[in-house]
Amino acid sequence: MTGHLAERLDAFVDGELDTVALHEAELHLASCAVCSRQVASRRALSGVIRGSLPRFTAPESVTRMPVTRTPVTRRPWMGLAAAVALIAAAGIGGYDIGRRQADASGMREAVVSSHIRSLLASHLTDVTSSDRHTVKPWFTGVLDFAPTVVDLSAQGFPLIGGRLDYIAGHRVPALVYTRNRHVINLFQWPTTRGDVPIGSSVDNGYNVLHWVTDHTEYWMISDLNDAELRQCAVLIH
């Protein structure tokens, strides 16, 4: 990797690069095995560190705070209670992106951009395999949740692998399926939202499907026709 990109390698791994810098880095990584190994090594190390960090539980004095206090003494505790509630909500892994994304069209644009970026950079997969038992474990250590990986080869939507992507500043898994040479990107993350039926839209000429089931939010995108794309979504749903 050139010196300029080498300085941004950690930022790339942490998902801190802007769209232009990220695109440049991915173009380089697509053709540089040495740098790709460095990225994989950093991601593995990050997973080990996260897995070894201690987890702390808020003391009972905080979680069971009295509610009858004077206005002068209550305000600081109310702020702390709000912080504790925020930490509790983050227990879902901090991935409730859809809940925090006020503009649904903005989220759709984000997944479309990620889909296009993966095609332009020829970086569809970090792990290339049609075996879900190979693809799913690959995400262990780089994500705080286990993605749903379904083998749809028999139904005509073969899995070709997966990669780590970035949506709204968060690491998310991207599973890659194909259908008659059409690439299908499937993004997913945990959410506190209730179930949402499969909905479709079109952005930049791509068909986009979105749904929520079992507290997992899904976005699927492809230039495949809407009927066949929806068939794929129903099989995963």
* CA–CA distance, 228 with 211 (Å, rounded to integer): 16
Tens of pLDDT, residues 25-56: 777 777 777 777 777 766 666 555 555 445 55
Residue 192 shares a structural domain with residue 83: no
* CA–CA distance, 237 with 231 (Å, rounded to integer): 10
Residue 108 shares a structural domain with residue 221: yes
Residue 231 shares a structural domain with residue 180: yes
Torsion of CA 68, 74, 80, 84, to 10 degrees: 20
Rounded mean pLDDT, 136-145: 87
How many domains does the structure of the chain reveal? 3
Global pTM value: 0.60
Structural domain boundaries enclosing 47: 3-52
Residue 107 shares a structural domain with residue 20: no
Residue 73 shares a structural domain with residue 133: no
Residue 47 shares a structural domain with residue 69: no
* Bridge partners (DSSP) listed for residue 202: 207
Residue 87 shares a structural domain with residue 173: no
Residue 227 shares a structural domain with residue 128: yes
* CA–CA distance, 88 with 118 (Å, rounded to integer): 34
Tens of pLDDT, residues 40-97: 766 666 555 555 445 555 555 555 555 455 444 444 434 444 444 444 444 444 555 5
